[in-house]
């Protein structure tokens, strides 16, 4: 009976963490790892390597599909050639990042993750929105070639930190390719439709053999529900306000990990 109770708690805790990660994924267009990793550490006591590996594995499923469909239903365009270029470069990047992560001790890896969140929050808060032109030009499809660099950088960060890569790719899409915030978010979550994190998951699974499958199942189910709800909220919030909320969430998550 005690074992069944423990398994139920583990499953529900994973589902709760997945729900929170899914909401932030749909809301901010990120993969969800930035919130899943702190929640898995706090609720279930996973170490940094375990939490990162489970998070990448949970993102192998097409969890972002509900959010993609909702963004499209609101008329937000998706740039498929750019998405394809990012996916191609993401795969070797996530493998390389995971290799590096599993050679770093747990303590320094967690501190590095916290520093990443704080730097991300600062950059997002200080970012200035580009001035709106008085003459409205017709929308143009962004070039796909920069997506190779964006995907490689996003993949390396995903493997190294266990995140979906959106927290790195979205700023690059906005600042470099001048995509509107919501379009950049849609590109980011569309990249996660195929199992782009698989090379990184294989590295983590080999290095962390005791893989918590029960947590992963709950995580995936909760993420599906949360991602759809987050996307519905995101399309009702203006881009600048969305960025300020995002920065505040990053600071809160960093504090959670430091106080663990």
Q: What is the pLDDT of residues 135-171, one digit of tens each?
A: 444 456 788 889 999 999 999 999 999 887 887 898 8
Residue 130 reports pLDDT greater than 60: no
Note whether 35 and 230 are within 8 A (CB): no
- Give the HSE-up count for residue 13: Cα atoms under 13 Å, Cβ half-sphere: 20
Taking residues 114-136, what's their average pLDDT? 67
pLDDT at 104: 94
Q: Say which residues have a Cβ less than 8 Å from residue 115's Cβ, sequence separation at least 6.
A: none
Taking residues 114-139, what's their average pLDDT? 65
Alpha helices by DSSP H, listed for the chain, are 2-28, 33-44, 48-58, 65-73, 80-101, 106-126, 146-161, 166-175, 181-191, 198-207, 213-234, 239-258
**Positive/negative CA dihedral, 16, 22, 27, 33:** positive
Q: What is the pLDDT of residues 57-87, one digit of tens each?
A: 877 877 677 778 878 888 888 889 999 999 9
Kindly indicate the confidence band of residue 211, based on its pLDDT and cuts at 50, 70 and 90.
low
Name which residue leads in pLDDT, 72 or 91.
91
The pTM of the full predicted model, rounded to 2 decimals, is: 0.77
> Within 10 A of 208 (CB to CB), how many other CB atoms are there?
17
pLDDT at 147: 92
């Amino acid at each position: 009976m005690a074992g069944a109770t423990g398994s139920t708690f583990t499953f529900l805790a994973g589902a709760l963490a997945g729900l929170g990660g899914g909401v932030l994924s749909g809301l901010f267009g990120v993969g969800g790892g930035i919130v899943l990793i702190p929640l898995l550490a706090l609720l279930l006591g996973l170490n940094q390597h375990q939490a990162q590996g489970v998070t990448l594995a949970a993102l192998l499923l097409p969890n972002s599909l509900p959010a993609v469909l909702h963004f499209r239903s609101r008329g937000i365009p998706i740039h498929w050639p750019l998405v394809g270029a990012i996916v191609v470069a993401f795969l070797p990047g996530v493998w390389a990042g995971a290799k590096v992560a599993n050679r770093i001790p747990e303590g320094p890896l967690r501190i590095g993750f916290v520093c990443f969140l704080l730097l991300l929050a600062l950059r997002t808060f200080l970012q200035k929105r580009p001035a709106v032109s008085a003459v409205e030009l017709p929308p143009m499809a962004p070039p796909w070639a920069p997506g190779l660099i964006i995907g490689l950088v996003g993949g390396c960060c995903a493997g190294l930190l266990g995140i979906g890569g959106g927290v790195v790719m979205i700023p690059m899409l906005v600042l470099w390719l001048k995509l509107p915030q919501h379009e950049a978010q849609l590109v980011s979550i569309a990249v996660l439709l195929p199992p782009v994190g698989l090379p990184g998951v294989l590295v983590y699974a080999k290095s962390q053999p005791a893989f918590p499958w029960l947590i992963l199942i709950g995580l995936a189910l909760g993420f599906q529900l949360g991602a759809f709800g987050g996307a519905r909220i995101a399309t009702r919030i203006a881009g600048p306000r969305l960025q300020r909320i995002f920065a505040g969430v990053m600071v809160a998550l960093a504090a959670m990990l430091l106080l663990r």
